[in-house]
Structures are given as C-alpha cells and as structure tokens.
Amino acid sequence: MTEAEDRKPQSDEAKGTFDPEITSEFAIPPGLAVPKASKGPKGGGEPETTSEFAVPEGLDVTQPADGEPEGSAFSLPKTYSARHAPPAFTPAEGFPVVSLTKDVPWQDRMRTMLRMPVAERPAPEPPPKAEEGGPAVPRVLDLTLRIGELLLAGGEGAEDVEAAMFAVCRSYGLDRCEPNVTFTLLSISYQPSLVEDPVTASRTVRRRGTDYTRLAAVFHLVDDLSDPETHISLEESYRRLAEMRRNRHPYPTWVLTSASGLLAGAASVLVGGDLVVFVAAAIGAMLGDRLAWLCAGRGMPEFYQFLVAAMPPAAIGIALTLGHVDVKASAVITGGLFALLPGRALVAGVQDGLTGFYITAAARLLEVMYFFVGIVVGVLLMLYLGVQLGAHLNPDAYLGSTERPLWQIGASMLLSLTFAVLLQQERSTVLAVTLNGGVAWSVYGAMHYAGGISPVASTAVAAGVVGLFGQLLSRYRFASALPYTTAAIGPLFPGSATYFGLLAIAQNEVDAGLVSLTKAAALAMAIAIGVNLGSEISRLFLRIGSAEKRRAAKRTRGF
C-alpha cells in the first residue's frame, strides 16, 4: 500500500477485520505469570473477576447470631421500654421545666399542655391503683371520643372539647396524645413512643342537642378522672357515661313550651310592651314552638323549623294591627324573635374563631347564618302578607320606646330564667344565671340610656361582665361556663333591630333595612366577643388557672 492509501480512512469492514498483532490494552503481556484462583472444596471455582466489596481472604468477619433480624432505624432498641421510659425528655437545646399546679381546674391545666409541643409536656403521674397491665389503648381512645362527642354536641367550644379529651387520655397514662376537633368530626392519635406506630381513632357527631344538665355531668366525670387522688376504672367511666345518655331531660315538654312563651313575653316588655303585648307574644311563641316540634317529628331540617316557628308571632302582631288594637305590634313580633335567635351557636362560633379553631368557627357561623335566614324568610312572608292586606306598620316605632328600669330589669331576669329552662340547665344553676342576666341588663341600661353610649359598645361591655361572672362561677364549681353565660346574654339579643330591618325591607325601604340588619349583626358580634373577652380577662388578670398560661400564636406582622 502506498503512503497515500495509508492516510485514507478505513471503512467499517476494514476495521472489523481480525488482526492477531493488535491486542487489547487490558491483555496480559506475554511472560507475565498470574496465579489462577483457587477452587472450592467441591471442585467448583470462583470466577476470575470478583467484586470490589468481596471480603479479602484471611480476614475474619464476625457473623450475626442465627435468628436475629436485620436492624432498622425505626425498630425498638433492646434497652428501651415504653412503660419504664424516663419521666422527661430534654432536647439538645434545652428548655425550662414546666410545673403545673394541681389546685386549679383541669381545663386550665389541659389548655396549657395542649399548646406545648409533645416533647415539652410534663409526663403524667402513674395512677395510685394501676390496673393489671393497664387499660387497652383502643378502649381509652373510644371513651375519650364518646366524651368529646357529648361535649361538642352540647354546644361546647372546640378548645374546651380538646382539653377534656386530653385530660381523659392523661388520666389513663396516655401522655403522647393529639386530639383534633372540627365541627362534625373528632379524632385522636396516640403514639406510645418515638419509634412505635401511632394509634388513631375518630368519631362523627351526627346529632346535636341542647342539654346543659348532661354537659355538666360530663364535666363532672372529666373532673373526677383528672383528680390525682381518685382512680376511676374504665368500666366505671363507661357506666357513668351510659347513665348520662339514658337520663331524661330535667324538664317535661309542657314546661319547655311554657318557658318559650314566657321568654317571648319578657322580651316584649323589654322593648316597651304592656300586659296585652306580653300575652300576645307568649301565645305566638308557644304556637311557633309547637309547629317547630311538629316539623322536627316529621324529619324536616332545622332551617324549616326556624322558618315555621317565626311565622305565628309575626302573624299575631299583624292581626292586632289589622284589628286596630291599641298595642305595639312591633313589640309582639320582636318578642317572638328573641325566642328564636341562635345566640348559643353564635357565641360558640365566635369563641372558636378567637381561639384559633377557624374551620369549626366558620362552620358554626355558617349554621347561624342559615338559621337566621330561616327566621328572616318566615317573618318576611308574614310582613309582606300584612302589608298587602293594608296593615300600617311603623318602622320608626322603636324611637319612642319608653324607659322603665325596674320593669325592664325584672323582664330581663325572667328572660334569663326561661332561657335557662329551655337550655335544660340544672336547677342549681338557674338562680345564678338569672341574677347574671339582671346584672347584664343593668350594665347595658346604665351605659346606653343613662350614659348615652352607643348600643354596640354598651352591649359589648355588658356581655363582658356576663363572661367574667360566668367564668368565676364555673371555676368556683369546677364546671362548664356555658350554663352561667349563655342564658344571661338573652336580654342583649338584637331582636328589635332585626325586626325593624325586616319590616323596612318588606316596605321596599331596602337601604334602611340593610342598615338595621347591619346594626343587628354588629350587636350579635359584640355579644359574642364580649363574652369571650370576659372569660379571657378572668384567666389573665385574676389568676384563675395555672401560672403557666396557654401559648397563643404570635401575630403575623402582615405576612
């Protein structure tokens, strides 16, 4: 081949031609002797190419014992025991030791620990008479969920429900628990240790009913479970819980219907009514109550129950106007509205929002809105029918309402008394809440009528006094604050503002109606915020509860 042919690029066929003179760069040079690998004892030889992870010959490696499984980062150490674990765990950065005093209500102690990280919570003390082997974890979680269900269905706030569930778990030695409460779902998770799988259980609240007697019994059970000096077995707790469910309401049906009528009559006196107005409002409220019971027995939703219950008082007020009876028809309709406004759900919803349970608060406030819309529709139907029939209803009648302090204070106390009966409260709490309602109206009247302060500010301060006194009474008796506050805020409900707003809308005065309804909404929010603020003041300044207050989220500073 010539030199020019040597410089030509070779084709693929030429490259593939075997040339014995060309060898691989990994080929063993001739003359270099490499010993062959030794053969096994059975004549089988290992391949010449071995792994870089193979153990070199002559190196002895200790083999694990037969039958011991391969370890994992999440497996339990041999020296760890969940039952005999150290009483406290301190992270590397350290934290101050938390000591909770035992002479305070369990609600405050549980609130304090719920806002702590799990690792910082003080370990529960073992019960003095521990059961053999301890109670089964699933049964403890089931008991906890059943107690939480009764509290949530009775109208208790989400924070207090979580505190009660946490107290029940800790009373049986389950310290690493995380309860979670929403509007209709309760769940709780328990993790025995950092390396064990958690156990989670949940329960759905299907029905809601107002029975503060049952609510007080549940609080008494949780208080007994939280007492370190007593020990209640799991079977005893289940027995007491079953008795609470089986117990009949403290008041019969006819007493509840009569209380509804007296409540409406007392409310009509608050807004300037006389004896005729009292009787008319009472009859309308009792008819509405019976119609609502009839709808409930037929399985109709609560929206339609409120709609039907709002119609008889409005119909009676319009009938008195058409009959040219010299009475305040507006007072009759307003008294009927007082018996229907969902103040209990409103206060619970605002309280949940202020304490950080925004999902539950949104659901409760949405429920209140639906109830309020039902009342609005029922009253508007009657008002529109009355206007079409020629009834002359004056939207400005409330401007001339008379001020009768003694009559109004007596009416406010009667309203609180009947409201407490409707809430199925214990007879021992009725007197206290009646006096609290009279104090609330006295504060409101002194600020609004005598002092000339706006009704919203006066309502907020009066509701704050109700919350403060209710919290003091509940802490004195180690019970829930709802029986001492809910009925006492009844005289402060915005019944008249709601009625006159609806009347203006029925007479095609939409702007004036919206202004009045906005005022009613502002009064309702003032009531709810005032009650919550009074409760917080009692815990903040009066040292009601433990010295270590529950931790709250820091403000976001705009981001």
> Stretch 195-220: mean pLDDT, rounded?
85
- Give residue 167's pLDDT: 87
Block residue for tokens 């539950």 = 360
CA dist list (Å): 418 to 310, 411, 427, 478: 18, 11, 12, 24
User: Hey, where are the domains in the chain?
Assistant: 106-246, 253-540
Q: Tell me, what's the pLDDT at 47?
A: 52
Of the CA atoms within 13 Å of residue 413, those in its CB half-sphere come to 13
Please state, as a whole number, how many other Cβ atoms lie within 10 Å of the Cβ of residue 130: 12
pLDDT in tens, 273-315: 788 888 988 999 999 989 988 988 888 888 899 899 989 988 8
Considering 70-74, 183-187, 245-249, 498-502, the range whose residues carry the highest mean pLDDT is: 183-187
Q: How far is CA 428 from CA 154, 219, 477, 484, in A?
A: 19, 15, 11, 11
Q: Is residue 82 scored above 60 in pLDDT? A: no
Check whether 358 has a pLDDT greater than 70. Answer: yes
Question: In this structure, what is the dihedral angle of CA atoms 225, 226, 227, 228, given to the nearest 10 degrees?
Answer: 100
Can you list the alpha helix ranges (DSSP code H) found in 154-233?
158-171, 212-226
- Stretch 214-220: mean pLDDT, rounded? 87
Average pLDDT of the chain to the nearest whole number:
75
Q: Which residues contact 402 (CB under 8 A, 6 or more apart)?
A: 272
- Of the pLDDT bands very low, low, confident and very high (cuts 50, 70, 90), residue 317 is confident
What is the per-residue pLDDT for 425? 87
Among 375, 355, 408, 269, smallest CA distance to 532 is for: 355
Mean pLDDT of 388-401: 62
Stretch 174-191: mean pLDDT: 87
HEC assignment per residue over 48-59: CCCCCCCCCCCC
Averaged pLDDT for residues 239-247? 85
Lowest average pLDDT, out of 337-346, 479-488, 507-516, 539-548, goes to 539-548
> For the chain, how are helix, strand and coil distributed in percent, rounded to 5?
55, 5, 40
Gap between the Cα atoms of 547 and 540, Å rounded: 9
Over residues 453-482, the pLDDT tens digits come to 888 888 888 888 888 888 888 777 767 788
pLDDT score, position 548: 46
* Least confident piece of the model among 27-36, 69-78, 352-361, 460-469: 69-78
Number of helices (H), then strands (E), in the chain = 19, 3
Contacts of 344 (CB under 8 A, 6+ apart): 155, 210, 423, 482, 486
* Mean per-residue pLDDT, 196-219: 85
Torsion angle (degrees, nearest 10) of CA 30, 34, 38, 44: -30
d(CA 462, CA 440): 5
Cα distances (Å, whole numbers) of residue 90 to 97, 118, 119, 196, 444: 9, 11, 8, 19, 52
Whether 174 and 145 have beta carbons less than 8 Å apart is answered as no
Residue 144: predicted pLDDT: 92
Banded model confidence at residue 68, pLDDT cuts 50, 70, 90: very low
Burial of residue 446 (CB within 10 Å: 0-12, 13-18, 19+) is middle
pLDDT of res. 559 = 41
CA 181/CA 246 separation, integer angstroms: 25
**Does the structure show a pLDDT above 50 at 361?**
yes
Number of CB atoms found within 10 A of residue 174's CB:
22
Find the farthest-apart pair of alpha carbons in the chain and give their distance in angstroms, rounded: 135
Go through 250-269 and write b for each residue having 16 or more CB atoms within 10 A of its CB, e for each that does not.
Answer: ebeeeebbbbbbbbbbbbbb
Question: Does residue 157 have a pLDDT over 90?
Answer: no
Which stretch of DSSP H or E encloses residue 199? Answer: strand 199-204
- With cut-offs at 50, 70 and 90, classify the pLDDT of residue 32: low
What's the rounded mean pLDDT across residues 424-437? 88
Hey, is 14 helix, strand or coil?
helix
Does 124 score more than 90 pLDDT? no
Kindly state the tokens that stand for 288.
């509405």
Quick check: pTM over 0.75? Answer: no
Query: What's the rounded mean pLDDT across residues 547-555?
Result: 48
Residue 75 has pLDDT above 60, yes or no: no
Report pLDDT digits (tens) over 524-533. 888 888 887 8
Q: Judge whether residue 92 has pLDDT over 50.
A: no
DSSP-derived pairing of the beta strands 185-190 and 177-181: antiparallel
Taking the CA atoms of residue 514, residue 519, residue 522 and residue 524 in that order, the dihedral angle to the nearest 10 degrees is -100
Residue from 402, 388, 371, 401 nearest 318 by CA: 388
Residue range 38-57: mean pLDDT, rounded: 56
